[in-house]
């Protein structure tokens, strides 16, 4: 199938990447590397420093400096057939009311959807197909971009904008776009997306941060960490608290654009933890082995790991 596709025309030719942080810069690199793409890549960045970085790496055919959302209305977007938004959800939401007329397709890379799609629902003149490429890194900024960021990761494609379904042919072109970058795709609605992500990404992120604060607030652990020649935390704690090291501003944004679902999920975790505590106080040994076994199965299922028998 991929072999066939390589001979097909690439679905877009003149691409504007609006916001070139780690994700946007990686997208430019990935496009440069994809067989069959020989269109133009233009980039929009906020700071003079980013202009330099992007130019230094030769990532875009042309680079515009534009403060988003403040100066978005002065941007000339005619001539592109795809705009990919690489700015955070709150910037998308703020700039949309003043976004210039545009005939091509718009997509994005946001981790939360509802509020972004609500903002686009108020601009029915724009042809928006939301996408959420599920990949990233703790590192920020264009200098941390890399060409195979997207390879063999999942891209979630959103099938609706407010009350409307997205245009089927635009959806298919956007799907083709990400698959050419070697992503696998999966279609779902905005409300399904935000509900699922509260459990599989956003809620876990809050719990990871809480884990770090909780252990650090324990005086003896905190003090011993200062005295020991190596951290007392093993691989388990390190793995669980790794995402607590992510960008605080980005995660505040995600929290506030998917607040209801995250709150609901966290309350459910709290209730399940209450049950665990009550069960543990009863101390039935056989039940616990069974509980850990079920947890392992759940983890293997969710992470696509084959159970060893």
Question: Which residues ranging from 213 to 272 are in contact with its own copies (CB under 8 A)?
Answer: 213-218, 220-222, 224-225, 227-246, 248-249, 251-252, 255-256, 259, 262-263, 265-270, 272
**Residue number, 125 or 308, with CB nearest to its own copies:** 308
Q: Could you say which of 7, 125, 283, 309 contacts its own copies (CB under 8 A)?
A: 283
Taking contact as CB under 8 A, which single stretch among the options 74-82, 100-108, 143-151, 208-216 is the one that binds its own copies?
Answer: 208-216
User: Residues touching its own copies: how many (CB under 8 A)?
Assistant: 100
Neighbour count for residue 73 (Cβ, 10 Å)? 12
State the minimum distance, in angstroms, from the CB of residue 130 to its own copies.
16
Q: Could you say which of 11, 206, 257, 258 contacts its own copies (CB under 8 A)?
A: 206
Neighbour count for residue 243 (Cβ, 10 Å)? 19
Dihedral angle of Cα 218, 224, 230, 233, to the nearest 10 degrees: -20
**Span 8-67, contacts to its own copies by CB under 8 A:** none
Would you list the DSSP string of 136-183?
Answer: --S--SGGG--TTSSTT-EEEEE-EETTEEPPHHHHHHHHHHHHHTT-
Instruction: Note if the bond before 69 is cis, omega within 30 degrees.
Output: yes
Neighbour count for residue 281 (Cβ, 10 Å)? 7
**Span 134-163, contacts to its own copies by CB under 8 A:** 134-136, 152-154, 156
Compute and round to an integer the Cα radius of gyration of the chain. 22
State the minimum distance, in angstroms, from the CB of residue 188 to its own copies.
7
**Residue number, 159 or 201, with CB nearest to its own copies:** 201
**Contact 106/127 with Cβ under 8 angstroms?**
yes
- Residue showing tokens 């005295």: 227
**Span 100-139, contacts to its own copies by CB under 8 A:** 134-136
**Span 67-106, contacts to its own copies by CB under 8 A:** none
**Residue number, 74 or 186, with CB nearest to its own copies:** 186
């Amino acid at each position: 199938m991929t072999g066939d596709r390589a001979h097909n025309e690439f679905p877009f030719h003149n691409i504007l990447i609006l916001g070139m942080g780690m994700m946007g810069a990686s997208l430019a690199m990935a496009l440069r590397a994809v067989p069959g793409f020989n269109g133009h890549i233009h980039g929009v960045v906020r700071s003079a420093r980013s202009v330099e970085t992007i130019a230094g790496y030769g990532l875009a055919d042309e680079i515009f400096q534009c403060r988003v959302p403040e100066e978005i209305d002065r941007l000339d977007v005619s001539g592109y057939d795809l705009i990919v938004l690489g700015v955070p959800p709150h910037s998308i939401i703020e700039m949309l009311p003043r976004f210039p007329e545009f005939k091509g397709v718009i997509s994005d890379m946001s981790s939360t959807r509802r509020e972004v799609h609500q903002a686009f629902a108020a601009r029915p003149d724009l042809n928006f197909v939301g996408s959420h490429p599920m990949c990233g890194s703790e590192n920020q900024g264009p200098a941390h971009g890399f060409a195979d960021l997207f390879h063999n990761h999942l891209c979630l494609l959103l099938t609706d904008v407010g009350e409307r379904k997205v245009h089927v042919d635009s959806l298919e072109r956007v799907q083709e776009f990400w698959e050419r970058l070697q992503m696998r795709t999966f279609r779902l609605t905005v409300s399904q997306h935000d509900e699922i992500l509260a459990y599989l990404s956003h809620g876990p992120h809050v719990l990871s941060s809480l884990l770090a604060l909780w252990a650090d607030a324990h005086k003896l652990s905190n003090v011993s960490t200062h005295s020991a020649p190596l951290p007392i935390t093993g691989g388990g704690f390190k793995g669980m608290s790794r995402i607590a090291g992510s960008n605080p501003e980005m995660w505040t944004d995600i929290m506030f654009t998917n607040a209801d679902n995250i709150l609901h999920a966290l309350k459910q975790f709290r209730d399940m933890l209450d049950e665990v505590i009550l069960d543990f106080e009863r101390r039935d040994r056989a039940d616990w082995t069974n509980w850990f076994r079920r947890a392992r199965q759940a983890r293997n299922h969710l992470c696509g790991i084959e159970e060893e028998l």
